[in-house]
Chains A and B, each alone.
Chain A
Amino acid sequence: MFGYVRPLRQELKCRDFDLYRATYCGLCRCLRRRYGPLAPMFLNFDFIFLTLLLWDPEDEFVPCRGRCHANPLVKKPMCPDSPALELAADESVILTWWKLRDSARDDGVVGGLPARVLAAGLYPAYRKAAERRPDFDGVVRACLEELSHLEEACCPSLDRAADAFARLLRGAAPSGDGRSRVLSQLLYHLGRWIYLADARDDLEEDRRAGRYNPVSARYGTQGDDEALKATMDQSLDLMGAALQLGEFGCRTPVLENIIYLGLPLVQRAVFDGSWAQIKKQKIWSNRQ
């Protein structure tokens, strides 16, 4: 995954920031416990959003204190293990592994070497996760296969290409649950948005490398930022509508912050090219 899905910290209330951070630390710990020391290295913000979405809305935020593995001298507030956290952890490992596989294939023999090494390292964890969530693994496999066929065929339809990735992410919603319709819709448009943001981000690079890019296939090599922005905004609106119709309990404010403020800002940064710097920021404190 890509790390596009972030909250806007300035607008988060302290308690929501604590919740967000404790979820981050909780997921990190859960990944380590379930999949060993390598898995938490792939933790990113998209997975935190997924965790927050999947969490049982009835569950209050009651952090426990746990030792941070990156800095064992301090104890930090962490969300305790829960079925949602475990589901998010399993799905994170599956997504990460397939993403690595994908980059290994795309970047060629030499360029794809790091991804291949990492994918090999993560393979035992992936096997375990795929055994635990065979349905999701199947969806990811099928959708990525479809996506690579579409990319090979230089699919001119923006929606068709984005649809394959959107359905992949939609697979992360638990089925049969009363909330599954809302979650499916939200995750579908999140997937669509991420795919389009990533395509816009790679536009220049793909043009130089002569690779397929869905945005240039639809709008020409220069892209059309206005039209792309309009269609991405529509996905954001539909995510907002789904959020309002679902129950997310005490996690609602931070989810609202991400959808209404974080994602539009990231989108803007992707469009004006400042995203490359921003995504590297490593700040939790107020230092800028």
Chain B
Amino acid sequence: MRDPYSVLGVSQNASDDEVKKAYRELARKYHPDNYQNNPLADLAEEKMKEINEAYEAITKQRSGGGYQQQSSGGYGGYTQQRSYSAGSPTYARVRTLINGGDLAGAERLLYEVPQKDGEWYFLSGSIAYRKGWLDEAMQNYTRAVQMDPNNMEYRQALAVMQQRGGGYRPYGYNNTVDGMDCCTTMLCLNCLCGGGHC
């Protein structure tokens, strides 16, 4: 395992508070909520695990080694696999294929289903999202919610897409352009690095 201090990006002499602060910031960055349905979600999960372990190792070490940390105040316990109420065995297989990254296989299987219901559109939207076809993902999720308005899973998927700037941003980038007033924007536009040769 890598040195836990370098994982958190702090020096060995950092105070407990500094360690905690660094950990919190990284946990905010790699929190699974920021990478829902994202094809890179597993990387975020790995990073999250790494920083959780590092933080735990440091707190253990600092409290004398014998202390069993029950909960590191950490974010954890998130698993990608949720218990879905899959309507049919085909849909369950499609979900497995999507989670395994075999989008072409999932798509083929889905197109064999004769009756298109809410779940069909939801799964079709999930495949599109994973492929980066965001416009079609949006259309399919919307359709799924229309057909089955009470399904929380579909509604959540649609909400994640609609919610702008919900993901992590480092400090200083929290203001989106939309938050700027008109003059600031004009000023900024003038400051975009211009063309020409050096």
A28 and B198 contact, Cβ closer than 8 Å, known pairs A260-B169, A264-B177? yes
CB-based contact A237/B135 at 8 Å? no
Q: Mark B98-139, 1 if CB is under 8 A from A, else 0.
A: 000000000000000000000000000000100111111010
- Most central of B43, B191, B196 by chain A CB within 10 Å: B191
The interface stretch among B31-39, B67-75, B143-151 is: B31-39
CB-based contact A70/B164 at 8 Å? no
Residue of B nearest to A166 (CB): B132
CB-based contact B185/A265 at 8 Å? yes
A6 and B34 contact, Cβ closer than 8 Å, known pairs A21-B198, A264-B177? no
CB-based contact B38/A20 at 8 Å? no
CB-based contact A189/B194 at 8 Å? no
With A and B bound together, what is the CA distance between A21 and B197 in angstroms? Answer: 11
CB-based contact A237/B164 at 8 Å? yes
Q: Which residues of B contact A244 (CB under 8 A)?
A: 29-30, 34, 168
Please tell me if B77 contacts chain A, counting CB pairs below 8 Å. no
Residue of B nearest to A188 (CB): B132
Give how many A residues have a beta carbon under 8 Å from the other chain's beta carbons: 64
**In the complex, which residues 142-174 of chain B have their Cβ closer than 8 Å to any Cβ of chain A?**
161-162, 164-170, 172-173
Q: Which residues of A contact B192 (CB under 8 A)?
A: 6-9, 262, 265-266, 269, 278, 281
B171 CB, nearest partner CB in chain A, Å: 11
Q: Mark A9-29, 1 if CB is under 8 A from B, else 0.
A: 111000000001100110010
Residue from A10, A189, A282 in contact with B191 in the complex, judged by beta carbons closer than 8 Å: A10
Residue from B34, B170, B189, B190 in contact with A241 in the complex, judged by beta carbons closer than 8 Å: B34
Q: Which residues of B contact A6 (CB under 8 A)?
A: 192-193
B121 CB, nearest partner CB in chain A, Å: 15
Q: Which residues of A contact B97 (CB under 8 A)?
A: none
B131 CB, nearest partner CB in chain A, Å: 7
Please tell me if B188 contacts chain A, counting CB pairs below 8 Å. yes
Please tell me if A279 contacts chain B, counting CB pairs below 8 Å. yes
A274 and B169 contact, Cβ closer than 8 Å, known pairs A182-B40, A241-B34, A281-B194? no
The chain B residues found within 8 Å of chain A, CB to CB, are: 29-30, 34-35, 38-40, 43-44, 47, 128, 131-136, 138, 161-162, 164-170, 172-173, 176-177, 185, 187-198
